[in-house]
């Protein structure tokens, strides 16, 4: 069941999920089972083995599809497990064009796992569709966009990428992790595949690692489901339950992430020791109009440089906050802070990092849902 007419906050609670058919339990039970008893060989109720199907996972998959206004959701043990499944749609000789300002783990699986198998990757600035067009050859099969980008928060025009993909008969995949389905629904802008690290905003409580793919096309769903079952990177029912519980407050959490994010971005912009602040809500952000067009709000992810642009200055700041915990990941209720050059993006060579505008002092904030006055006071004492 997916009901396009419901508003997001209602869908977060009701779409795709239903009370347990055997007991009426309002919360989806954790079906902690590996197998299902058949009344005779091949006579089962749609569930045979939990790698293939599990009722807790089914509910989560249906709900994710509903939140993205799509038909099918497929869950994976991690976000990278989901990306791995997309790569397996392709064969040696195929080419994939991806965002240059990319999540470090995505860059690593592309270049270190699949490039040696013969898939070719090109990394381009997708805020400029003409650069994407120029990189396309007759071998190109997929455009991989991540928006907002990580960590410099550029915004890629999904509808423009979809137009390029359709013109050249390519698939468009969008990593929607940073925005979450609350802020942006790439399928509505013409994407063919949406990828989520559920680990981040969707589960939202820093207690589960999981990924998902969302598609509309029947054939694509069948192929990805085959990969999901054959490669076996599927999540367990307990983790699916945690993600389902997290989703019930996704809209409320996102509202607060956005509110706090806006206040902190403006505070940083006025700070004498802070250099450039990256946040798509600023009217002078180069992609602000695109953000306004395709997102409901501007999110809680902010990056900023220090005027003293050195690894040492960034390290000092990152070690002196009390509320912003220095950690990888993002999108949880607690505020986190990271230094991409030495943490999440350490896998990307310095030359590549700098090409994508990622300087040594860049600090990335995942603004949580604490009281914003306390968060600002924490930054104030740490920046000094």
Ligand X SMILES: *Cc1c(COP(=O)(O)O)cnc(C)c1O
Nearer to ligand X, 209 or 382 (CB): 209
At 175, list the tokens. 């990593």
Q: Quick check: is 263 catalytic?
A: no
CA nearest neighbour of 89 among 218, 221, 190, 191: 221
Q: Which residue is nearest to ligand X (CB)?
A: 79
Q: 39 Cβ partners below 8 Å, 6+ apart?
A: none
The one among 140, 147, 152, 177 contacting ligand X by CB under 6 A: 177
Q: Quick check: is 128 catalytic?
A: no
SS3 278: strand
Pairwise CA distance, residues 227 & 38, whole Å:
25
**What is the chain's alpha carbon radius of gyration, rounded to the nearest angstrom?**
21
Residues 82-111 that bind ligand X (CB under 6 A): 103, 105-106
Stretch of residues binding ligand X (CB under 6 A), selected from 45-53, 72-80, 89-97, 165-173: 72-80
Instruction: Verify binding: residue 184, ligand X, rule CB under 6 A.
Output: no
Helix axis angle for 311-320 and 372-383, nearest 10°, is 140
Stretch of residues binding ligand X (CB under 6 A), selected from 77-85, 131-139, 255-263, 372-380: 77-85
**From the CB of 169, what's the least distance to ligand X, in Å?**
26
**From the CB of 137, what's the least distance to ligand X, in Å?**
26
At 214, list the tokens. 């969302």
The one among 54, 180, 197, 321 contacting ligand X by CB under 6 A: 197
Q: Quick check: is 309 catalytic?
A: no
Pairing between strand 140-146 and 171-175?
A: parallel
Nearer to ligand X, 306 or 335 (CB): 335
Residues 215-254 that bind ligand X (CB under 6 A): none
Nearer to ligand X, 177 or 189 (CB): 177
Q: 379 Cβ partners below 8 Å, 6+ apart?
A: 264, 267, 268, 321, 324
The one among 80, 274, 341, 358 contacting ligand X by CB under 6 A: 80
SS3 341: coil
**From the CB of 165, what's the least distance to ligand X, in Å?**
20
Stretch of residues binding ligand X (CB under 6 A), selected from 10-18, 192-200, 224-232, 361-369: 192-200
Q: Quick check: is 103 catalytic?
A: yes
Nearer to ligand X, 239 or 378 (CB): 239
Per annotation, catalytic residue among 175, 297, 360, 378: 175
Complete DSSP assignment for 292-318: HHH-SS--SEEEEEESS-SHHHHHHHH
At 265, list the tokens. 């971005």
With residues binned 3-state (H G I as helix, E B as strand, rest as coil), the percentages for the chain, rounded to 5, are 40, 15, 45
At 246, list the tokens. 């997290």
Instruction: Verify binding: residue 299, ligand X, rule CB under 6 A.
Output: no
Helix (H) or strand (E) holding 124, with range, is: strand 120-124
Per annotation, catalytic residue among 103, 114, 182, 201: 103
Note the residues at the interface with ligand X (CB under 6 A).
78-80, 103, 105-106, 146, 150, 175, 177-178, 197, 199-200, 209, 211
- Catalytic residue numbers, as ranges: 51, 103, 175, 200
């Amino acid at each position: 069941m997916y009901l396009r007419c419901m508003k997001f906050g209602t869908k977060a609670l009701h779409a795709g999920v239903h009370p347990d058919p055997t007991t009426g339990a309002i919360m989806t039970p954790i079906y902690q089972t590996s197998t299902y008893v058949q009344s005779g060989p091949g006579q089962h109720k749609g569930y045979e083995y939990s790698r293939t199907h599990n009722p807790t996972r089914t509910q989560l998959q249906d709900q994710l599809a509903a939140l993205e206004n799509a038909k099918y959701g497929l869950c994976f043990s991690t976000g990278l497990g989901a990306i791995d499944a997309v790569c397996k749609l392709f064969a040696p000789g195929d080419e994939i064009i991806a965002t240059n300002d990319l999540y470090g783990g995505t860059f690593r699986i592309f270049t270190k796992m699949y490039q040696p198998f013969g898939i070719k990757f090109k990394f381009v600035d997708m805020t400029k569709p003409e650069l994407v067009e120029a990189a396309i050859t007759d071998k190109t099969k997929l455009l991989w966009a991540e928006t907002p980008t990580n960590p410099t928060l550029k915004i890629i025009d999904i509808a423009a990428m979809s137009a390029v993909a359709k013109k050249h008969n390519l698939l468009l995949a969008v990593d929607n992790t940073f925005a979450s389905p609350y802020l942006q629904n790439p399928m509505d802008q013409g994407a063919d595949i949406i990828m989520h690290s559920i680990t981040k905003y969707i589960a939202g409580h820093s207690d589960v690692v999981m990924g998902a793919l969302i598609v509309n096309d029947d054939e694509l769903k069948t192929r990805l489901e085959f990969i999901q079952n054959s490669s076996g990177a599927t999540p367990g029912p307990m983790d699916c339950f945690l993600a389902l519980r997290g989703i019930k407050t996704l809209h409320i959490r996102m509202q607060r992430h956005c509110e706090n994010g806006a206040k902190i971005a403006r505070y940083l912009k006025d700070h004498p020791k802070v250099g450039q602040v990256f946040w798509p809500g600023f009217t002078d952000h180069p992609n602000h109009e695109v953000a306004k067009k395709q997102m409901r709000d501007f999110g809680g992810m902010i990056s900023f440089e220090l005027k003293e642009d050195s690894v040492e200055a960034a390290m000092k700041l990152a070690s002196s906050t009390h509320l912003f915990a220095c950690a990888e990941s993002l999108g949880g209720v607690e505020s986190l802070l990271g230094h991409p050059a030495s943490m999440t993006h350490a896998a990307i060579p310095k030359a590549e990092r700098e090409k994508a505008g990622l300087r040594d002092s860049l600090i990335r904030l995942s603004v949580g849902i604490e009281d914003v006055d306390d968060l600002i006071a924490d930054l104030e004492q740490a920046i000094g």
